[in-house]
Amino acid sequence: MRERLRCALIGLAAGDVLGSRYEGAGADPHRFVGGVTPVPGSLYTDDTQQALVLGSHVARHGGVDPGRLAFDFLELAETPERPSVYRGTGSGFRSFLEHLAEGADPAEAAQPSAGNGAAMRVAPIAMRFPDDPTELVSQAMAASLVTHADPRGVAAAAATAAAIVAGARRVTPNELIHRAAEAAEDAEHLLFSEHVGRVAPGDAWHAMSDALRAAEGLLGAPAPEIAAAVGERAAVTSASGRATGTDPYAPASVVTAIVVAAERDLHPVDVVARLVALGGDVDTMAAMGGAIAGARWGLKRWPWKVPNTDVIDAIAASLVDGSPLDPVPDLYAVEASLG
């Protein structure tokens, strides 16, 4: 199982690469009719960059130190001396970085985001804490609360971490979704009991776990039908009252990605291709789907180039084996080298 789990991080990056040039595009069921391959020159985005920052942090510290993690994220951001090396950041993450750079207390810099940003980067938590569901949820929450002050965004990360571990254990599709929903619900309960003053108020405390449980009946359906049904349900808990299954809203895109990736017989390449063909926030959906399916299949190498594979592999090995991360990569330099 642990050998397969090592493949979650490269799967995340591979899905991100495939989707990076299609983010925000419309649905296109014929997108890869000539073969599943990225647009030439595609790089991974901040989905992978944030996962590498988190992975390096956990490998070095043995778990999440929220204050240190906040400043680790800031290391790749713009300063008066050098430009940002982040690619494709969302508005919430940019606001978080700006608050930190202006001197905000790391404990108060998180944004009231119900988005998928914490879920997209959570694979390192699954890789380090696969054998203790309670610690898995606790660490996923700690990593999420650094940037997200909304129960939906935080619970989505716990769900995704549980889905990655379940994938590596090769459980049935129904069981994978069940474990993801349980992790989301555990996070929701802990948020309400321990962080109610910190997390944005509202009526959507159980939106993520409810969305996953409702989606179990969608297993085996075509990906567009999954996305449509997930979006219809997500609209009920969305602040705008509108959602599609491919929106950055966590109970939308995170649920869609988990359900598509849960299919046991679907090769990881087909998982990420189906998610990218849906349109919308495709790089993030493909990153999450690639992590889950990559861990299920133990896919060490993908059929397209993933930049910085050596760094990704080193962080993955340290996370799964518990071995020292030596040397510790200079992630700013690693990203700057890509131009």
The CATH number of residue 80's host domain is 1.10.4080.10
Residue 36 lies in a domain: no
Residue 34 lies in a domain: no
Residue 278 lies in a domain: yes
Task: Please measure the distance between the N-terminal and C-terminal CA atoms of the chain and give it in whole angstroms.
Answer: 36
Residue 197: what pLDDT?
A: 74
pLDDT tens by residue, 43-92: 999 999 999 999 999 999 999 999 999 999 999 999 999 999 999 999 99
pLDDT tens by residue, 100-154: 999 999 989 999 999 999 999 999 999 999 999 999 999 999 999 999 999 999 9
Residue 37 lies in a domain: no
Residue 178 lies in a domain: yes
Spatial CA neighbour of 51 closest among 21, 16, 83, 84: 16
pTM of the model: 0.97
Residue 35 lies in a domain: no
- Which amino acid is present at 329? P
Residue 208 lies in a domain: yes
pLDDT tens by residue, 143-188: 999 999 999 999 999 999 999 999 999 999 999 999 999 999 999 9
Domain that holds residue 60: 2-28+42-336
Contact present, 212 and 184 (Cβ < 8 Å): yes
Tokens of 205: 């405390």
Residue 65 lies in a domain: yes
Question: Total domain count for the chain?
Answer: 1
